[in-house]
């Protein structure tokens, strides 16, 4: 059986962080009921691009869920949600702090209704603190948390990371918090609140840069594709594209020089130590790129790999998805879908040897399972 078989999750989330969290729980066997507003549902359903009326964004993070449509301002629908929560193990929401309490679904009320409930709240800035009442959107969090200040070229403007990184991190931390609370419940019989903030999650991922500030008082700046502490550990131009090289220690630096038939660089006083290479990075890049230009990119990667030098082509996402490694690792899944025929989505990266992730349900239509869920609820 999947590791989370029979774990009942009520999912009152939308957009990304929450749906990503509950999808991953569903992949591992949890029974996830996605509660949506009746008219439009999860707002991501309307986001472009759409194919045959289905948003690619929604399809990407909503498999392994059943959808029911409830209006929480309607007394009868609110009663249905309370009945569902009374039988649930986990409740996940990502409303602005205080919003659900005003509707009668705050943590205190739900803990009284179901003392075993693990109540997970995902928000921009958390349930406490002077910023707790602010809305949380990844692009804003990236700016406010300082990530943009260290992202981009040194002579360019602060730059947003190309994915909603704070949402994904918060979703992953929410999973961790939920599972920890379930482990505690096995000992105590009681649930608790899991409070995850996008802001906290993103800050936690910048521990190395924060360490520089804590230890030196200096604020790290943008370094582009260079590494602030290691060289060569960056991108270089080859004859027919870009390559990224990670020669992160003296042994790898020596092996890189040997792979390029440039052993003299390893003993060049300008590049003798990592500190020397950082000090003379411009000259180092010129020396290496002059040699990289002698090879086609595929040959260059093979040449460096033969010497165990970590390296790779700078590829598009489409190119990366075509890599045979993706198929071997089952990182692209194809699921039957009533409206679309099939849906492709990224697989679950957690590979369990005995109880692997499974896909049992394609992303649902709005309210697709309302009747089914209600029938099971009132018959239980």
Q: Which residues carry out catalysis?
A: 167
Can you list the alpha helix ranges (DSSP code H) found in 28-91? 56-60, 75-86
Which residues have C-beta within 8 Å of that of residue 42, sequence separation ≥ 6? 14, 15, 19, 34, 36, 58, 62
Q: How many CB atoms lie within 10 A of CB 88?
A: 25
CA 97-75-108 angle, to 5 degrees, is 35
- Determine the 3-state secondary structure of 42 from DSSP: coil
Of the candidates 355, 326, 18, 360, the residue with the CA atom closest to the CA atom of residue 164: 18
What DSSP line would sit under 108-129, residue for residue? HHHHHH-TT-EEEEEESS-SSS
Of the candidates 101, 130, 91, 105, the residue with the CA atom closest to the CA atom of residue 13: 91
Of the candidates 160, 22, 183, the residue with the CA atom closest to the CA atom of residue 92: 22
Which residues have C-beta within 8 Å of that of residue 28, sequence separation ≥ 6? 2, 3, 4, 348, 350, 352, 355, 357
Distance between CA atoms of residues 64 and 308, nearest Å = 40
Distance between CA atoms of residues 109 and 102, nearest Å = 11
Of the candidates 135, 134, 97, 121, the residue with the CA atom closest to the CA atom of residue 174: 121
What DSSP line would sit under 225-259, residue for residue? TS-SS-SSEEEEE-SSSEEEEE--SHHHHHHHHHH
- Residue 109 to residues 32, 80, 103, 117: CA-CA distances in angstroms? 21, 15, 10, 11
């Amino acid at each position: 059986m999947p590791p989370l078989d029979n774990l009942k999750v009520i999912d009152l989330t939308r957009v990304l962080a929450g749906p990503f969290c509950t999808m991953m729980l569903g992949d591992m066997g949890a029974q996830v009921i996605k509660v949506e507003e009746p008219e439009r549902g999860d707002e991501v359903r309307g986001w472009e691009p759409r194919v045959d009326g289905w948003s690619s964004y929604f399809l990407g993070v909503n498999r392994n869920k059943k959808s029911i449509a409830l209006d929480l301002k309607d007394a009868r629908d609110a009663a249905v949600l309370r009945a569902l929560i009374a039988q649930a193990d986990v409740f996940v929401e990502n409303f602005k702090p205080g919003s659900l309490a005003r509707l009668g679904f705050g943590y205190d009320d739900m803990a009284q209704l179901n003392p075993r409930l693990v109540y997970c709240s995902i928000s921009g800035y958390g349930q406490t603190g002077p910023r707790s009442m602010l809305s949380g959107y990844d692009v804003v969090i990236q700016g406010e948390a300082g990530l943009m200040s260290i992202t981009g070229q040194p002579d360019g403007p602060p730059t947003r990371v190309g994915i909603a990184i704070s949402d994904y991190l918060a979703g992953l931390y929410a999973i961790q918090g939920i599972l920890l609370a379930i482990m505690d419940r096995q000992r105590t019989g009681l649930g608790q609140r899991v409070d995850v903030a996008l802001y906290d999650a993103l800050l936690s991922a910048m521990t190395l840069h924060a360490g520089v500030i804590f230890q030196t008082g200096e604020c790290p700046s943008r370094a582009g594709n260079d590494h602030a502490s290691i060289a060569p550990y960056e991108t270089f131009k080859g004859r027919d594209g870009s390559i990224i090289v990670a020669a992160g220690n003296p042994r790898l630096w020596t092996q890189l020089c040997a792979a390029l038939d440039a052993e003299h660089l390893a003993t060049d006083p300008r590049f003798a130590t990592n500190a020397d290479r950082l000090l003379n990075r411009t000259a180092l890049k010129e020396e290496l790129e002059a040699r990289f230009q002698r090879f086609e990119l595929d040959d260059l990667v093979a040449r460096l790999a033969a010497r165990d030098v970590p390296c790779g082509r700078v590829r598009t996402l489409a190119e990366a998805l075509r890599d045979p490694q993706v198929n071997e690792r089952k990182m692209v899944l194809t699921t039957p879908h009533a409206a679309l025929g099939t849906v492709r989505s990224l697989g679950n990266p957690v590979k369990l040897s005995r109880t692997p992730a499974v896909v049992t349900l394609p992303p649902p239509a709005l309210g697709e399972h309302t009747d089914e869920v209600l029938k099971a609820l009132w018959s239980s």
